[in-house]
Structure 1
Amino acid sequence: MNLSMKSAAVLDISAAALILLAPGAEANDDGKLVSVSGGYESDRWSDELYSQITFHGCYNSGTFPVAKSVDVQIWEDIKLNPDSCDNKTYTACYVGKVSNGEWTDLPAGNKQYYFKIMKIGGSKNTSGDPNLDVDKWVVDTTKADG
């Protein structure tokens, strides 16, 4: 490899590193839920201004009639003083579609957030029936996607 080719390779690697480390680039989070009740709290993620939480495939166990909604609320993780934001009710994920909620007015500054399951089928029960399973949930912190 001659000197100009080595220089070009170093520049390509440097440019890729700059893109990955660009300010404002936020990591997304995802997972699945298995048999959770009202009051469940997700892992924490860093964000500012905007978050979208998407559920793919929602199911209930032990409920009759079967619950067809789940209330999701985003919270700022403040020690001994959590601060909640708006509540969203998800229904489409129960019929094979995607449910999502957007929170567009989060406070400025990089803060820690989590989502909490507030109600399943209108019930706030924190132990037992009804339980919720979600095939996949995704947190997207970049509004530029849509």
Structure 2
Amino acid sequence: MDKELVKERTLEKTPTWALAVVCFVLIAISIFIEHLIHMVGKWLKKKHKRALYEALEKVKADTISKICVPKSVGDSWHPCSEEMKDKGDHKVAFVSAYGIHELHIFIFILAIFHIIYCITILALGRTKMKRWRVWEDETKTIEYQYYNGNKI
């Protein structure tokens, strides 16, 4: 069987529960690692290991994309090995590599729109606050207080 002719399942055809499980696992691993780093940081502070604590802070600041793993470890994340696919055991991957790629793109686009949304809300909030400031300054004038019943 030619590997290039085998089409992988797209994200659209992947069951929703499978994507939810993948997202849950990624989030759970992230939270666990963050909690572990926090606990190590607290321990280093308690033991007065300032240099190690600063090194830990630098590790937290670096991008995670610089971490490399052997190819054998990277390939082991796929539940169906190439041998199983070649044998024709009627088994398919939980989420195909192409589906994971599409999921990464979806999460990236979602993050971009979230950032745009937050910036827009921030800009609209600041605009509204400027209008309130103008109104507050207007209420402090003698004319406003006189015409609205506040005696000076």
TM-score range for the pair, normalised by the shorter chain length: under 0.3
Structure with the higher helix share, 1 or 2? 2
TM-score, length-normalised on structure 1?
0.22
Greater relative contact order (Cα 8 A, min sep 6): structure 1 or 2? 1
TM-score, length-normalised on structure 2?
0.21
